[in-house]
């Protein structure tokens, strides 16, 4: 989804560590997805990183498979859970992450930190002020060759995760091309992109 490798996060030694209930690797809490048991005994997903008892998982299909096999959610959460199918959990993870990204993009839009549409996006890219280029996953009639080439030249990451409908939801208007000009918003969006579960849909 992202055409260029993301900058590795600077490892903050003070950041809390958690163990993935699948592969058992110990990682910084913020790179994992937190699951919780709802009062009704179903599995909930939380991306805010707030407190409460949680089961932490790498955003990977293989880790989910391992967890389901080992009843990792039940052990970590200490309850008898009604678990959905693997595909349903993966889809829910994707949906939650996309929701977060759409919401961040909406905030960036209201804060006027975006360039919307091809001409504005291209101008921003050429001016060196683009931090992230978003192209609709289901875009029609263009491969955005010029924009892609310019982004690559500038070292701007390209994200093709969101559909036209999701972009429209964030922007309040239809556009297949958006540039994020603010480094904080771009960084925030890319942080959640890393939480999109790996493995074929």
The residue from 43, 55, 63, 102 that contacts Zn ion (CB under 5 A) is 63
Q: Does 31 bind Zn ion (CB under 5 A)?
A: no
The residue from 2, 23, 68, 83 that contacts Zn ion (CB under 5 A) is 23
Number of residues that bind Zn ion (CB under 5 A): 5
The residue from 20, 101, 121, 180 that contacts Zn ion (CB under 5 A) is 20
Q: Does 22 bind Zn ion (CB under 5 A)?
A: yes
Which residue number, 31 or 168, has a Cβ lying nearer to Zn ion? 31
Identify which of 161, 108, 153 has the alpha carbon closest to the alpha carbon of residue 134.
161
Least Å distance between CB 28 and Zn ion?
13
Nearest 5 degrees, angle CA 87-CA 33-CA 180? 100
Instruction: Determine contact, residues 56/29, Cβ cutoff 8 Å.
Output: yes
Least Å distance between CB 76 and Zn ion?
13
Instruction: Determine contact, residues 49/9, Cβ cutoff 8 Å.
Output: no
- Region of 21-29, 41-49, 148-156, 167-175 interacting with Zn ion (CB under 5 A): 21-29
- Region of 23-31, 47-55, 112-120, 137-145 interacting with Zn ion (CB under 5 A): 23-31
> Which residues fall within 8 angstroms of residue 111, CB to CB, at 6 or more apart?
182, 185
- Region of 15-23, 115-123, 172-180, 192-200 interacting with Zn ion (CB under 5 A): 15-23
- Region of 7-15, 22-30, 87-95, 112-120 interacting with Zn ion (CB under 5 A): 22-30
The residue from 58, 116, 121, 179 that contacts Zn ion (CB under 5 A) is 58
Long-range contacts of 74-82 (CB under 8 A, 24+ apart): 75/21, 76/21, 77/35, 77/36, 77/37, 77/53, 78/53, 79/37, 79/41, 80/41, 81/37, 81/41, 81/42, 81/43, 82/41, 82/42, 82/43
Element (H, E) at 159: strand 158-159
Binding site for Zn ion (CB under 5 A): 20, 22-23, 58, 63
């Amino acid at each position: 989804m992202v055409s260029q490798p993301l900058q590795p996060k600077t490892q903050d030694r003070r950041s809390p560590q958690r163990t993935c209930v699948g592969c058992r690797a110990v990682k910084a809490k913020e790179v994992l997805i937190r699951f919780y048991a709802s009062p009704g005994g179903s599995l909930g997903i939380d991306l805010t990183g707030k407190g409460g008892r949680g089961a932490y998982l790498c955003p990977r299909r293989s880790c989910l498979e391992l967890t389901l096999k080992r009843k990792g959610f039940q052990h970590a959460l200490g309850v008898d859970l009604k678990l959905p199918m693997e595909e349903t959990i993966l889809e829910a993870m994707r949906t939650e992450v996309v929701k977060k990204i759409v919401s961040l993009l909406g905030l960036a839009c209201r804060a006027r930190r975006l360039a919307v549409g091809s001409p504005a996006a291209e101008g921003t890219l050429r001016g060196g002020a683009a931090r992230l280029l978003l192209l609709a996953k289901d875009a029609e009639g263009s491969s955005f060759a010029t924009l892609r080439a310019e982004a690559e030249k500038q070292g701007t990451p390209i994200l093709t995760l969101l559909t036209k409908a999701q972009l429209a939801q964030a922007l309040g208007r239809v556009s297949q091309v958006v540039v994020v000009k603010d480094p904080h918003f771009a960084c925030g969006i890319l942080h959640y992109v890393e939480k999109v579960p790996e493995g074929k849909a």
